[in-house]
A and B are shown apart, each in its own frame.
Chain A
Amino acid sequence: NAGVTQTPKFRILKIGQSMTLQCTQDMNHNYMYWYRQDPGMGLKLIYYSVGAGITDKGEVPNGYNVSRSTTEDFPLRLELAAPSQTSVYFCASSLGSGHRENTGELFFGEGSRLTVL
């Protein structure tokens, strides 16, 4: 059982470049999330999705876009990379509210470390 898989694990971008962080989960979870983790700042929610075709902004969405065409995949796109986007990015998923089996637990990927120079 792979859980939540993120790629790439590391990436260096130049200012103004674009890239997509991939995230896929094989647990048939409805809810998926993208967080960024900055030193000493905890996790900040970028975007989330409660199901295929539905996405919404979190606390820090500027400079990012997402899509959710399938239940499994939730890619995060950076259109014009800026040094402020240097961070570690985590994708997570959960079963979602309304499910009897839902324990509230978030399942995280291993993270993607992005550096913008």
Chain B
Amino acid sequence: GNSVTQMEGPVTLSEEAFLTINCTYTATGYPSLFWYVQYPGEGLQLLLKATKADDKGSNKGFEATYRKETTSFHLEKGSVQVSDSAVYFCALSTSGTYKYIFGTGTRLKVLA
């Protein structure tokens, strides 16, 4: 079946450090891939997405590229801020279905 695996946290970085959160997936067909972010006390909100191979999603300085050959969708940001502290979820959905599969989430803590 479909699944999403993302690196375990917590990840602790200093402000302005480079961020990578790894995400790999297993899916039949051609899924859409997402990164959601959850700030403390809030629900999840979409950060970025990519719908086909080699697409790059980007938002708020975050980027992720849909790599079909490595079945990966790693999240990156060149310079993190304290305000980026949150839990990040990688997810996929398969075309034409209701199914969204979420990873277990990676907590990021950025220190000033």
**B-binding residues in A (CB < 8 A):** 4, 31, 33, 40-43, 45, 48, 50, 90, 92, 96-98, 103-106, 108-111
Nearest Cβ on chain A to B32's Cβ, whole angstroms? 5
Which one of B43, B51, B96, B103 lies within 8 Å of A4 (CB-CB)?
B43
B41 / chain A contacts, CB cutoff of 8 Å: 110
- B45 CB-CB contact with A under 8 Å: yes
- Chain B count of residues within 8 A CB distance of the other chain: 22
Task: Flag if A103 contacts B43 (CB, 8 Å).
Answer: no
- B66 CB-CB contact with A under 8 Å: no
- How far does the alpha carbon of A108 sit from the alpha carbon of B87 in the complex, in Å? 15
Closest 10 CB pairs of A and B: A108-B43, A42-B104, A43-B102, A108-B44, A42-B102, A110-B43, A104-B32, A105-B46, A97-B96, A109-B43
Question: What string of 1s and 0s marks CB contacts (under 8 Å) between B41-70 and chain A?
Answer: 111111001010000000000000000000
Which one of A50, A90, A111 lies within 8 Å of B98 (CB-CB)?
A50
B34 / chain A contacts, CB cutoff of 8 Å: 104-105
